[in-house]
Chains A and B, each alone.
Chain A
Amino acid sequence: MALARRCANRKFEDMSLLEVKNLQVRVEEREILHGLSLTVNLGEVHAIMGPNGSGKSTLSHVIAGKPGYEVTGGEILFKGENLLEMAPDERSAKGVFLAFQYPVEIPGVATMTFLRTALNAQRKARGESEFSTPDFLKKVRAVAASLNIPQDMLRRGVNVGFSGGEKKRNEILQMALFEPSLCILDEMDSGLDIDALRVAADGVNALRSPDRAMVVITHYQRLLNYIVPDFVHVMSKGRVVKSGGKELALELEASGYAQFEDAA
């Protein structure tokens, strides 16, 4: 608490966008993250790599506020504020965006209705005025066109009947629309063929900005050929066991994760 108060008094410009410090997380009595630390600054793209079960997705879920995870130690600061005390919708309004590995289908809720409800909810929480319908439509259409998303997709239920690639593009559409300062991309490459992957990656690259940071979670190096990171972190057994530049990903591709499993 003392730390949180101290941070609140500091100016955000002086600190990192995201600071994960010694994070320990349990799911049903089993500890998944054992003291994970990670610092992300605006303008940076970080890749988190690791074998299945290393805790990559758990980290993304805990940052977004998914229920079912018990934080037993450590903290997460976002723009200097204690993220763990916030509800998922507060985190979203503050600028946290998780692109889901498996975006859910919501039958009966038209994509357009969903987008407008979400955008206006975030704006309302920040004390901003709601978008008027014509302004909103203009904005969505422009973003959709840049991502090759046809208008009829926007009229359908959220993700209902969408292909794997369309679901991922819908996530990127939301990312572009909500303009978050932190984007976490959870296994964006899963279920995508090479063409779909390229379209999605182009969409993400277009959103790279000095006012935004990205955390790209992936099992495979392949995605990082398209979204080139500034930093690469290797996770194993619930910790970051090695950090380095983009060359670390290539090293992993050649030698595999086995070396780190022992190190952890």
Chain B
Amino acid sequence: MNVVLAKTETARALSDILAIARDRLPGTGKVADHRRQAFEAYESVGLPHRRIEDWKYTDLRVLMREVLPLAATPDAAALTRAGTALKLHAIEGVRRLVLVDGVFAPKLSEVADLGKGFSIRTLRDVLEAGDAALHALLFAPENADSMVALNSAMMTDGLVIEVADGAVLTQPLHIVHIASGAAPAAMFTRSLLKVGKAASATLVESYIAADGAKAYQVHDSLVVAIGDGARLDHVRLVEDGREAFNISSAVLRLGAHAHFNTFGMTSGSSVSRYQAVIAFAGEGSRVETNGVNLLNGRQHADTTLFLDHAVPNCASREIFRAVVDDRGHSVFQGRIIVRPKAQKTDAKMMTRALLLSDEAEADNKPELEIFADDVTCGHGATTGALDESLLFYLRARGLSEKEAQALLIQAFVGEAIESIANDGLRELAISAAQRWLAARG
């Protein structure tokens, strides 16, 4: 069915936003051409809506309504506010790379003494320099999804990190996105991580807000290439302000005998969507992807994963847990495609939702498309309330109702959190979950 929707006022206003922002968008020549094509792709659809199958449960025309103007380059006051917020979310032992209102902030970041084996540049620098190979990678995400296209058209800054072949980075890289709260605005970022052959790295991404940040929009994307025999550990924590929007996309590609372990948790923002495409391009690789949504109030969080088994002998595991209170709405869409050549694929997906109130909603949509005949694939989805008999047992042992719930919720999300390989990062995720539980009162 071909549905033609009338273009909204806000969609028309966006071309004005682009026109005003154009001077601040890095890159000329081919980069500018890419941006123009991406913008046209965005304009042909506009904000995704429920009649687009992938966005059925997250109708941005209803939830977000408009794309805000590009955020101003942070001034000294904004950087000070961001610095304060950063202190509250500091992690020990990581290399911090900070983006404030979508712009790299060198003073808040640690870019000195990189040592051998890797390089860090800003997206702005890379787009302005003429590196065709990197540009090709940066523009690899297809414009088929209009939010990816919008990001391609508007991306202002981000990090471009290259880990050399055989390099083992023991120190995790931590990209922190901070909204300084100067004014309601949108930030458009894109980062690229290239992990060389037989190299290994750990990437953490956090999204936080300075005090007083209100209705801002994060439009982020991540492009990752994991080389043959390489390993990447990845943790993503969305703790944006309660009025914020976070629309993020990731495109990941694994070579042969590579390993990708990823964990994502959303406890912040008003409306969020994380859509990741993970593609196996070489045999013998493995992906573990685990996620948790912790939602209350009227929060809406959507995790949409697409595992593309294009080659034989690869394995993938997906574990997802949603805890939804009040009128929160959790969406998990997990699509696994096993292409005709991908024999001996081993793909499993399990998603469970815990509803803490009568008005809470969780939509779990597993989709398996299997075109090979010698595979092991499975999926499961459950939704339910906290077990009354467990609650009573805990209360009979002296725990208050809230304490009993908190302990059972921690246990419920525990299986997904346990999957984080790095001890420090696991603690980080646990403390983010505990912050959410404490805020429930």
- Chain A interface (Cβ within 8 Å of chain B)? 64-67, 87-89, 91-93, 97-98, 100, 103-104, 106-109, 113-114, 117-119, 121-122, 125, 157, 174, 178
Contacts and interface: CB of A to CB of B under 8 A. Distances in A.
Contacts, number: 76
Given A67-B388, A104-B389, A106-B390, A89 B411 contact: no
Contact of B398 (A66, A92, A107): A92
Given A108-B412, A117-B403, A65 B397 contact: no
A30 to B, nearest CB: 20
Contact of B392 (A66, A118, A178): A66
B393 A89 contact: no
A93 B398 contact: yes
A117 B408 contact: no
In the A-B complex, the 4 residue pairs with the closest CB atoms: A108-B411, A122-B398, A88-B395, A118-B397
Given A103-B393, A104-B393, A121-B403, A109 B398 contact: no
A89 B402 CA distance: 11
B112 interface: no
Interface in B157-183: none
B422 interface: no
Nearest to A102: B389
Given A88-B392, A106-B390, A108-B415, A114 B407 contact: yes
Given A88-B392, A97-B396, 19 more contacts: A65-B396, A66-B396, A67-B388, A67-B392, A87-B395, A91-B396, A92-B396, A93-B398, A98-B396, A100-B396, A104-B387, A106-B394, A108-B411, A108-B412, A114-B407, A117-B407, A119-B398, A122-B398, A178-B397
Interface string B397-415: 1111101100110111011
A121 B399 contact: yes
Nearest to A91: B396
Interface of B: 387-390, 392-401, 403-404, 407-408, 410-412, 414-415
A67 B392 CA distance: 8
B24 to A, nearest CB: 48
A109 B393 contact: no
B384 to A, nearest CB: 14
B429 to A, nearest CB: 14
Interface of B is mostly: helix
A174 B411 CA distance: 20
Contacts of A174: 397
A62 to B, nearest CB: 12
B388 to A, nearest CB: 7
A100 B397 CA distance: 11
A97 B389 CA distance: 16
Contacts of A108: 410-412, 414-415
A103 B390 CA distance: 9
Nearest to A68: B388
B411 A118 contact: no
Contacts of A88: 392, 395-396
A119 to B, nearest CB: 8
Contacts of A107: 411
Contacts of A67: 388, 392
Contact of A109 (B389, B400, B407): B407
A88 B412 CA distance: 23
Contacts of B390: 104, 106
B382 to A, nearest CB: 14
Nearest to B404: A89
Contacts of A119: 398
Nearest to A122: B398
30 contacts: A64-B396, A65-B396, A87-B395, A87-B400, A87-B401, A88-B392, A89-B395, A89-B397, A89-B399, A89-B403, A92-B396, A92-B398, A97-B396, A98-B396, A100-B393, A104-B387, A104-B389, A104-B393, A108-B410, A108-B411, A109-B407, A113-B407, A117-B407, A118-B397, A118-B399, A121-B397, A121-B398, A121-B399, A121-B400, A178-B398
